[in-house]
Each structure stands twice: as structure tokens, then as C-alpha cells.
Amino acid sequence: MIEKSKFAQQTTSLGVFGQVAYKFSDKLKVTGGLRYSHEKRAAQVFEGLPNPIDAARDNKASNVSGDISATYEIVPRVNLYARYATGYQAPSLARNFTEGDITVAKAQTTRSFEAGIKGL
């Protein structure tokens, strides 16, 4: 008798975000924000006969990411702007079919910078 395989995963996420904007003058505005992320994942895989496997794995991860931007009005309705930001993707759990186990993919982080002119 061959039983079915089963892969189950549960994720619990918590995120807190705050942002502040300050106007230094009529022309210059700076905005900054931070985000705290916490994630917990649990996974279990069960393979029936002929090669029974029962594996489980837990993983927790936390990160602080953020951004800061500035806008400067050159003339009415035309602005110079710049922004720097960081991003985060928590580790993930996946079934490893060749070894019948659960693997953990590492967390990913990103950094971005943009600048330009906005206007009409």
C-alpha cells in the first residue's frame, strides 16, 4: 500500500511601521520610515510507503528596514527628489524532493536608490 504525501506549512507574521515627515523650509521636505518585521514558519512533510519520511522544521527571522527621501521644490510644481530604501524578504521553507527533507532558503535583502525631477 502506498500512502499519499503531505506537506504543511504555517506562517505567523508581525510588522510594525512608522514614518515621519519634516518640512525644513517651504522648498525642502524630508521623510523617513522604519519597518520591523518578524516572521515564524513551521513546516512538516510526511511521505508514505515505500520510503516513509516524517520531517519537520521551524524557522524564525527578524529585520529592520527603512527608507529616507528628500524633495526640493525648484519652481512651483517642479521638484528634485532622492530616495534610498532597504527591503527584506524573510527566509522560506520548502520541500526538498530529492532528499525528502525540508530546506530553508536564506533571507533576502535589497537596497535601492533613485533620484530625479518630478513636475508637470
Q: Are strands 53-75 and 78-89 parallel, antiparallel or unpaired?
A: antiparallel
Is residue 45, in this structure, part of any structural domain at all? yes
C-beta separation of 10 from 56 below 8 A: no
Structural domain containing residue 105: 6-118
Dig out the grid coordinates for 20 from the structure. Answer: 515621519
Question: Is 51 in contact with 97 (CB distance < 8 Å)?
Answer: no
Q: What is the pLDDT along the chain (120 residues), one digit of tens a residue?
A: 556 777 788 999 999 999 999 999 999 999 999 999 999 988 887 776 666 667 787 889 999 999 999 999 999 999 999 999 999 999 888 777 666 678 888 899 999 999 999 987
Strand ranges of the sheet holding 108-118, from the earlier edge strand across to the other edge: 6-23, 28-47, 53-75, 78-89, 108-118
Q: Is residue 86 part of a domain?
A: yes
* 47 in any annotated domain: yes
Looking up cell 524578504 gives 89
CA distances to 38, 86, 108 from 89, in Å? 10, 11, 5
Taking the model in full, what pTM does it have?
0.75
Residue 79 lies inside a defined structural domain of this protein = yes
Total domains in the fold of the chain: 1
The pLDDT of residue 50? 66
Tell me the three cell numbers of residue 15: 510588522
From the CB of residue 25, how many other CB atoms can be counted at a distance below 10 Å?
Answer: 8
